Each structure stands twice: as C-alpha cells, then as structure tokens.
Structure 1
C-alpha cells in the first residue's frame, strides 16, 4: 500500500469529509428520519468513484428511481407470499449484478443494489413506513448529488482523472458473477428476515458491499478488509462518545468531530487505493454510527460493539456459503470463473 498522497487525493479527501457532514447536518437541522442515508450516500458517491460528472450524477439519481420501481413492483405482486417474494428478490438482484458485470454504468446498479437491499429488509417490519424510507432515500440522493456538484466546483480537479479500466469478461464469467452475487445477496436477505435482525444495519450493508467484486477471492479479500474497517470505525465512534460525553447535544461540536474522524477514515481509504477496503469500511461504519446512533440518549458503546460482532458473524457465514457456491458454479462450463 503506497503512502504517497497526491494533490488530487487531498482534494478528494476534503470533498468526502465535507459531503458527509453536509448531508448529516441537513438531516439533523431538518429533523428528518433515517439520517443514515444522508450521511452514507455522500460517502458512496464521492468515495466509490474517483471523479464526478453529469453521467455519474445521472447514474446516482437513476439508481433511486429504479429502486423505487423495483420495491413497488415487488410489494404489489409478491408481498403476500414469502416464497414468491424471495424468487422476485433473487431475480432483481440478478439483474443488478449482471449489469454491474457488463454495463459501463456500474455506479447506478451498485448504489441501487445497496438501497434495494436495505429498503427491502427494513420496510418489511410493522410500523416502518416504506413511503417515508423512499422519500428519505430520494432526498438523500438529491442532496448528495447537489453537494457533490458544489464541492467539485469549490474544490475542482486540476487535471483529468482516469476511470478504472473495465474488465473484459467471457459469458461464463459473467454468469458466474451474476449468480454468485444474486444468490449470496438473496441468502443474506432471507437470513436477516428469518432471524428478525432489524437492528443490524451495518451487517446488512456489509454483506452487500463485499459482494461487489463478484468473485469468491475478491469477496473474501473484501470481507476481511471490511471487518477490520468496521472494527476501526466502531473504535472511532466509541472514542467520540467517550470524549464528548454529554456534549453530543451540541450539533456544531458533533459536526466538527465527525469531520475529523471522517477525514481520518477517508484518508486511509484513499491511500489503500483498493475500492472497498479497510478505510472504506471504517468510513461507512462512521456514517452509520453518526447518522443513526449518535444521539444524546443513545449508547454508542453498545451500538459499536453490536455492530462489530454482527458484521463479523454475518461475514463469516457469508464466506462459508460463498466458498461452497463458488465451487458448485465452477463445476459447470456455463458458469465457470476461468
């Protein structure tokens, strides 16, 4: 891992930190629910890709539209039957992973996959308003795009930033990646539903993010880094609560501390230069802790430890299933990852 920090990465670091704080501050000032969306979405938009332009903005906005349609159709046609709902969820996940493997619009299908997984799971519980969650998702997406555009105007790039090269995959490799991602994401959805794990947002998100490489080796590496990142993010969150104690009620102080901790995690993410690595895991964990659990009457110590244990447990189970699924798919010529 190179420790050289370029001028471009310094500018990107500031944009990630300011973007996350802008979304967090707006949600708290407006007293909007689901503050986690407003905190994490700017991290995804500004942290997943090294550049921002009209095409990236269109993909990010398009993802929430596609997700809304998918959620609506699944609930209309399959909500009364768990079996049909599971089959429908698998089909939708398969579409996302296939387009992630073959399409140039990776951001649209990847960010939509995260939103879809979270909304499908949490909207199924009684007392949760799907319309409220969808509105929060739409507002968070819109604010993330607008703040990103402003930040790229205020802190512009000095030279063009190349996008990562796209892999050339054979038909069996595409099938392998699609089925690996769709099967594992569906299994994650079913397990979280059966065991009523509605307080495990970090674990839910982690089991989706580690699937983005869409191969067993890539997922294994991503899961290991993700677990370390969640541990670091939880440690930073717990440290923040201990240091601030009852000062958490003062929003300007919370935003200042959040800015510093996000800067630390984002710098680690950019130095790694490995996509969803340890730094990105710490970054999104901080977004979840600040956006959902950092409140005057909340115990972030318990929340942090629970996040860590649930993420490690979920990823261990996911990797075991991924190992056997990868071996099974490689037995067939049409789904070999070679």
Structure 2
C-alpha cells in the first residue's frame, strides 16, 4: 500500500483545520494558528505533513525543525512551551478492517519518517503523541525508542461524578465559601493565572518558560471558547485560577492551580466548576494533564480519574549519541559552564 506524504502547500493549508476537526487524535495545538504561534515562539520552522491514499487524506503530522549548534532536530511538540502532546493524527480509518488499517497506518508513518530523513536529515527526533494514539509499533519498527508517560482522564459522562471524589474534595465543593465567585476572565484571567505560576516557580528557583503574552496570543488566535481562563475571586481579588484548553470532546486542565496558603480550597472549587461547565457544553473527558509526579498525583487522583498512557518516541543519530555520552560524563561544574 502506497501512501504519498507531502508538505502542505497553500491550498492544503487552507484545509488543515478541517483535517484536525475530522481526526479523533488531535488537540487544540494541532490547529494551524496554534502551530504557527508555537513555531514563532520556539524560533523553529513548522512543517505541515499530510499523507494521502490517492486523493483521500489519511493522516497529518505537524513537526518543528530547529538547530542547536551543529545538530538538526525535529520535535512535535517543540520543547519548553508547556505543550504536552502533539504528533501524528489519523484520518478516515474508522471503517477499515484491522489488517488494512494497520497497513495504512504503517505506510503513513513510514512515509513521514522518510520525508523527514530526506528533507531534514535530523540528528535527533522527539515526538510526544496524544493518549488516543495507541499503536506505536510503526515508530518502533523504524528504530525509535518508545516510552510511556501518564495523564489522568476523568469520564464526564458518569451520572454522579461527585461521588467519585475523595471525601475531602466532596466536602470542599459542597461547603464552598459563598463569598467566592468563579468566572471566565479573558486576558485579565490569563495575566493573573500565569503570573501566579511564574511567581511560584521563581520562589522555588525553577524554570517556567511561558508568559502571559504567549497564552494571550494563543487565546486570541484560536477559535472562541478554545482557551478558557477561569478565576476564583473574593471581594474583587483574584485568589487563583486555571487556564483550560478545549477541543473536540476533551477539556484540558492546562495551566494553573498554583499552590497557595489561603483558607479557601480554591483549586477544588475551580476543578468542580470546570467539570460542570464542560458537561453542560457536552464534553465527555476532563484531561488533568499529567500523572507522572507523585506530589501532583496525590491531588489529581482525588477526583477519581483513570491513569492513561501517552508516549514519547525518540531517535538519536550516532554522532549525537556519542556527544551526549561525553557530556553526561563531564563533572557537573563543567556541564554548567558548557551550557
């Protein structure tokens, strides 16, 4: 089976978002306007790959090309921008029998990787897929290392979601402080939420590479309702907040929920409000975005979600493996100097 993989021309780019809407394996970051914004921020070149069976599109694969020193690298998504999943997404597979679907899928990924090798010849490739993209064998068969990471998914179709919560979470949302108001707050909310996270990271001497301007630009570029900044306020003061992303059937708990020392269970109230809002809009999944750190799992697991795997696939050229090995063997002081 031959799948023809091409880089999207201007005409195809006009149709790109319709491909995103048709696939069940895409996120808001797969949209053209988001990809362009990521490329500009990461100082990378975004390449829009599309696979065809005849005239029928069978998959899309947005990738980012960049260089560091002598090395050419391909990412999907680009690093350090708080984008957790991207990678390939399949189209027009639902009616195919298993054997034909597997052949088409493998041919699509083979074609994409051949295009990447022919056009870019990278020393390093790093791809993180969405949780719905579950068959990673075509990458393994092409010599990639495949490793799982985890997120939490809460099924919003359950009749009584509150009963899945832990006792303390149920108590917090049932006995909420009536003086607190939760609302969508637009750019004001983005500035408050991202500012809190920046301050939290700075206090812990940790790196956090996005800022309110980055999120605001995403808010303005994406369709209305795709980025939703929620805040919890009391007496006109914003106590905390959450910036969510929304696409297809899923709402993503993207940024926010900074730890605080107040006497109000701000994050519990925010999560419960977001869950109810999403259900009213007909969404069926709440992705709590990340279930890899024990200290964060302790909080997120109290809503009764299921841990679900997504995957990272990586490949390093021999030259880069050798350089990385030498770098890791350097004393830590020398590594700091070299950076």
TM-score, shorter chain, exceeding 0.5: no
**Greater per-residue helix proportion:** 1
**Greater per-residue strand proportion:** 2
Q: Which has the higher contact order (CA 8 A, sep 6+)?
A: 1
